Amino acid sequence: MLNALILATVTLAGAVLIWPRLSNAKIWRATITPLASIIGSGFLVLGPILDVSFGGFAPLVMVGLCAVAYLFGSAIRFNIADIDRQAPSVPVVNALEVLSSCVLAFAFVVSVAYYLNLFGAFGVSLTQLNDAFHANMLTSSVFLLILFTGLTRGFSALERMEQVSVGLKLAIIAGLLLGLAVHFGDVTRQHALQFDAPQVTGWAALTLMAGLIVTVQGFETSRYLGGTYDAAMRVKSMRLAQLLSTGIYCLYVALLTYAFDSDPLTLDETAIIDLMEVVAPILPLLLVAAALSAQFSAAIADTNGSGGLIAEVSKGVVSEKLAYAFLVGIGLVLTWTANIFEIISYASRAFALYYALQSAIATIRAARSGYPVRTAVFAMLALLGFTIAMFGTPVE
- pLDDT tens digits, 208-255: 888 888 788 888 878 777 777 888 999 999 999 999 999 999 999 999
Asked if the model's pLDDT at residue 267 lies above 70, the reply is: no
Asked if the model's pLDDT at residue 117 lies above 60, the reply is: yes
Residue 99's closest CA among 350, 377, 326?
350
Asked if the model's pLDDT at residue 179 lies above 80, the reply is: yes
> What's the angle, vertex CA 387, arms to CA 379 and CA 306, rounded to 5?
90
Task: List, for residues 338-394, the tens digit of each pLDDT value.
Answer: 888 888 888 888 889 999 999 999 999 999 888 999 999 999 999 999 999 998 887
Task: Count Cβ atoms below 10 Å from residue 67 Cβ, excluding itself.
Answer: 12
- In whole angstroms, give the CA distance from residue 54 to residue 277: 23
Task: Count Cβ atoms below 10 Å from residue 57 Cβ, excluding itself.
Answer: 19
Q: What is the pLDDT of residue 269?
A: 67
- In whole angstroms, give the CA distance from residue 243 to residue 67: 10
Residue 139's closest CA among 123, 107, 116?
116
Own/partner pairs, 103-107, CB within 8 angstroms, 24+ separation: 103/350, 103/353, 103/354, 103/357, 104/220, 104/305, 104/309, 104/351, 104/354, 105/305, 105/306, 105/309, 105/310, 105/313, 105/323, 106/306, 106/350, 107/347, 107/350, 107/351, 107/353, 107/354
The CA–CA distances, whole Å, from 230 to 138, 234, 237, 369, 375 equal 40, 6, 11, 21, 25
Q: What is the pLDDT of residue 216?
A: 86
Residue 310's closest CA among 118, 74, 150, 117?
150
Is 229 within 8 Å of 79 (Cβ atoms)? no
Task: Count Cβ atoms below 10 Å from residue 374 Cβ, excluding itself.
Answer: 18
Q: What is the pLDDT of residue 395?
A: 65
**What sign for the dihedral angle of Cα 116, 117, 121, 122?**
negative
Q: Does residue 143 or residue 149 have the better pLDDT?
A: 143
pTM for the structure as a whole: 0.86
User: In one letter, which amino acid is 217?
Assistant: Q
**Sequence-separated (6 or more) residues with CB below 8 Å from residue 183:** 255, 259, 278, 279
Average pLDDT over residues 296-302: 73
DSSP 39: S
The CA–CA distances, whole Å, from 227 to 222, 238, 283, 321 equal 11, 16, 39, 23
Asked if the model's pLDDT at residue 84 lies above 60, the reply is: yes
- In whole angstroms, give the CA distance from residue 78 to residue 366: 8
Q: Does residue 317 or residue 155 have the better pLDDT?
A: 317
Query: CA torsion, points 7, 10, 11, 12, in degrees to nearest 10?
Result: 120
Written as one string, the DSSP assignment of 122-181 is HHHTTSTT-SHHHHHHHHHHHHHHHHHHHHHT-SHHHHHHHHHHHHHHHHHHHHHHHHHH
Split at pLDDT 50, 70, 90, the class of 164 is: low
